[in-house]
Chain A
């Protein structure tokens, strides 16, 4: 079918079926916004990961008053360990400065701590961050070692938080996807019923199945597209007001950038249009005899 008559049929169908189409748009928008939120949370987890991989992974806190000779012996031993690629010493003062930098967002915490309260330490870069556990096991309890900390392990709760919310967002998106399918199914049924005279005549005069189905699939895909655009709008607003506007002042971790938002937007639009069109095709098999 030519574009003119095709869009004519689409416009007629939309006009007759506006309420139902709006319901589909809203449901699809919520579904896709949740999907987009899940994608952004995953992007955030990856951003944190990348940030931490650049940092020294394992910190060996030294006991106060450790003689310099013992300290050097420990450094040599650490440097000789095949799992460790780099060892760097930080004095109490340097540790304090790092602490102040990391907690610049929380002046109260910084105010209650002085350089003396913090241990001098070795920071270790590992050939493979996943070996951190073995390093912790080997050096904990050694003479002069106060504690061995795996910074990634400290971030477990953060990762669990991000993973949990990602999973939750995807699960809700899946539930909304089911709801969207039910609505699209109903929309197609109503639409096919409203247009049954037209489709009967189309069959009769020899229109192809594709031509008969196209307006319905287009209607659904359009609802998917509009829902997707609304979802993208929500993601952009969340990035501007929630992430950049609030979280950026509250966390020491870097936050995902606009690149992640646009990647999620493209995914959300693509999924929205194709899934809505696909769901319509499935519903058409049931409700439109061609």
Chain B
């Protein structure tokens, strides 16, 4: 029997759900704000192909719309009707442990223009189409910090070369790129500290720079300038490579084990217009490496952690003529972490019938990605619904709690 949309959705909640108790169970933990809970927001820049990642194999239109791609990277079944891209198989233990969830048909309010730049701006600003561009300053993670007492510059960390829009704004945040390394002899470090002591601006920056450099662990004795120049030159290339993703996640974990509660970094390589098979393979490997590095290096804190992976929009339901997919609308959101409710799919599935598509080409989004983000913020940090709907995500109707947290 061909599974119908109804049978695909039925039982999504039960599959892969472990009964293990999670440490994050009561609101008591929220008393000492910003508390002990951790949030990592991964921005998947370039528009992730949700359909190729969480594959709706039971939908007969899937193979019809994607004759090549559906055969290129076939996944094994995950929950009824959906298969998981093989490059995310390393995450299956998380699913089994109840630490992984998906929202398969979701989007920001952004529609129709399908520009990466504008789409990412809207994703990070956390606004809707009813808010004029520029009317709200900065990003939603930064505005959210304003609603949490006891925030310091260490509370939120932007990891990577630039502070992304999502964390810019009035609240202080820290930023660091693990590719910037400072390797000095102890003598030179001592002299530097003395040098900066009398200049407050330099003193503040240098002290933090040295602290951060040390927290990365002192690398081999670097006496050779050639080695230093290599590191400077390779810094950019390094960030793009798989090692770079792991380094970002590892740095995030190191900060989150200390004072930091919120971290955000970006993963690129999702704009798969051509040769999607190889490109998506690499991008998904970086995603799964990032999540597993966070889990491994956060240790017991993983239980208090939620990871949100969000992208600016999805990709076309059908494959194009160059072995890829083009800019679309509805896409996939991924949640991971011990704070996330047992392996589940949330929010329903509209199907890939032509009549069910947005604009007859894209997956129809059934829900607003900001609603999930808002309920996660509410769950982790106890922020009031009114604040979430007016300050953090102006104009957002929070609706009912989708229940993504434990």
Are A and B physically bound partners?
Answer: no
